[in-house]
């Protein structure tokens, strides 16, 4: 397939591009600063359509986003441009050239005491609200929307993942606060790239949660990651997110997802979070 990846220069894009090439696809990168691809601001409608017509991809994968939660809160217009307007333009152009659209969204739209199913979204900050509005725009283009969260080895020069940050704290024995009242069910980026590939291949439409089984608190995640690396973690301090004083914008506490719909639709068994942590630890160890 020829696959056009918007937001290819970001953290997930830097992992997805080589993954797609490794699967034998022609992967074309697009973002405002693509060194080896198309330089485009997808919040501009005409140039987005023009680029799409020029490349003429079979599949479009949209990873564009303003992902900094605090910045979204303080710059809502920028958040709207990246998380909604860009999606409107990409979805419109995908429809015009008849390409299948896979759009990445977030688990931040959830905050429920039990793992959330797809119709239980209740976005509560500017990032989540704009991502939710972006999903609606993507669905207008007949997209496959994947709500997810991820960690693992980042190949991006400046963007560090949660586990990159934890590894540096473990290596330097630096004291850090880890939240024991914030739950999530993320995937290792390698696994997520595989599922995005499946979504590109099978062309199902609608919204799907794509997370691991067995949601954990971010604190338990941090300790499990240290254990998987066999590194001492006595300098990790459990705190409540609110007491940490680190977060200004409101954050959901329970982002755990029920990904049963994805499993039955795509005939895929999703992994457990502990298995994903072990996978990531193996990938970090291979780099040392």
Ligand X SMILES: NC(=O)c1ccc[n+]([C@@H]2O[C@H](COP(=O)([O-])OP(=O)(O)OC[C@H]3O[C@@H](n4cnc5c(N)ncnc54)[C@H](OP(=O)(O)O)[C@@H]3O)[C@@H](O)[C@H]2O)c1
Interface residue list for ligand X (CB under 6 A): 7, 9-13, 31-33, 40-43, 63-65, 67, 81-82, 86, 104, 106, 131, 148-150, 159
Structure tokens at 13: 């894009």
Buried b (16+ CB within 10 A) or exposed e, 72-101: beeeeebbbbbbbbbbbbbbbbbeebebbb
- CB of 234: closest distance to ligand X in angstroms? 27
State which residue, 94 or 148, has the beta carbon closest to ligand X: 148
DSSP for 142-204 reads: T-EEEEE-EES----SSPPPHHHHHHHHHHHT--EEEESS-EE--EEHHHHHHHHHHHHHH--
| Residue linked to tokens 């795509």 | 266
Q: Which is nearer to ligand X, 145 or 234 (CB)?
A: 145
In the complex, minimum distance from the CB of residue 75 to ligand X, in angstroms, rounded to a whole number = 12
Q: Tell me the C-alpha distance between 283 and 86, whole Å.
A: 33
Question: How far is the C-alpha of 92 from the C-alpha of 43, rounded, in Å?
Answer: 12
**Which residue, among 73, 80, 182, 184, has the nearest Cα to 125 in the 3D structure?**
73
Query: Shortest gap between Cβ of 237 and ligand X (angstroms)?
Result: 22
Minimum CB distance to ligand X smaller for 200 or for 235: 200
Q: How far apart are CA 42 and CA 64, in angstroms?
A: 8
CB of 216 to ligand X, least distance (A): 15
Q: Which is nearer to ligand X, 175 or 211 (CB)?
A: 211
φ/ψ (deg, to 5) at 163:
-75, -30
Give the N- to C-terminal CA distance of the chain in Å, as an integer: 35
What CA dihedral angle connects 262, 267, 268 and 270, to 10 degrees?
50
> Can you read off the two tokens belonging to residue 195?
């599922």
Q: How far is the CB of 148 from ligand X (least distance, A)?
A: 5
Instruction: Give the single-character DSSP code of 214.
Output: S
Q: How far is the CB of 121 from ligand X (least distance, A)?
A: 14
Compare residues 74 and 173 and give the one whose CB is closer to ligand X. Answer: 74
For ligand X, the closer CB: 212 or 230: 212
C-beta closer to ligand X: residue 58 or 164: 164
User: Which position's Cβ is nearest ligand X?
Assistant: 10
Supply the minimum distance, in Å, between the C-beta of residue 16 and ligand X. 9
Nearer of residues 78 and 227 to ligand X, judged by Cβ: 78
Closest approach, Cβ 275 to ligand X, in A, equals 19
């Amino acid at each position: 397939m020829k696959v056009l990846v918007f937001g290819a220069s970001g953290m997930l894009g830097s992992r997805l591009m080589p993954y797609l090439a490794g699967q034998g696809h022609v992967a074309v990168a697009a973002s405002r600063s693509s060194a080896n691809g198309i330089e485009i601001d997808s919040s501009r409608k005409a140039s987005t359509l023009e680029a799409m017509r020029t490349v003429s991809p079979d599949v479009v994968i949209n990873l564009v986003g303003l992902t900094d939660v605090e910045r979204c809160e303080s710059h809502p217009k920028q958040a709207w441009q990246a998380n909604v307007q860009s999606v409107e333009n990409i979805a419109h152009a995908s429809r015009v050239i008849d390409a299948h659209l896979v759009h990445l969204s977030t688990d931040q739209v959830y905050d429920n005491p039990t793992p959330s199913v797809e119709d239980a979204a209740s976005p509560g900050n500017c990032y989540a609200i704009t991502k939710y509005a972006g999903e609606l725009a993507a669905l207008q283009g007949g997209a496959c929307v994947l709500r997810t969260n991820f960690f693992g080895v980042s190949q991006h020069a400046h963007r560090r993942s949660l586990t990159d940050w934890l590894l540096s704290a473990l290596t330097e024995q630096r004291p850090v606060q880890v939240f024991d009242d914030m739950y999530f069910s993320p995937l290792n980026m390698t696994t997520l790239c595989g599922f995005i590939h499946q979504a590109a291949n099978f062309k199902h439409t609608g919204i799907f949660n794509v997370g691991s089984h067995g949601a954990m608190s971010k604190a338990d995640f941090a300790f499990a990651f240290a254990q998987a690396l066999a590194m001492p973690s006595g300098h990790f301090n459990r705190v409540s997110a609110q007491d940490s004083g680190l977060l200004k914008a409101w954050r959901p506490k329970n982002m755990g997802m029920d990904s049963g719909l994805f499993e039955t639709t795509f005939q895929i068994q999703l992994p457990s979070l502990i298995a994903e942590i072990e996978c990531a630890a193996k990938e970090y160890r291979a780099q040392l």
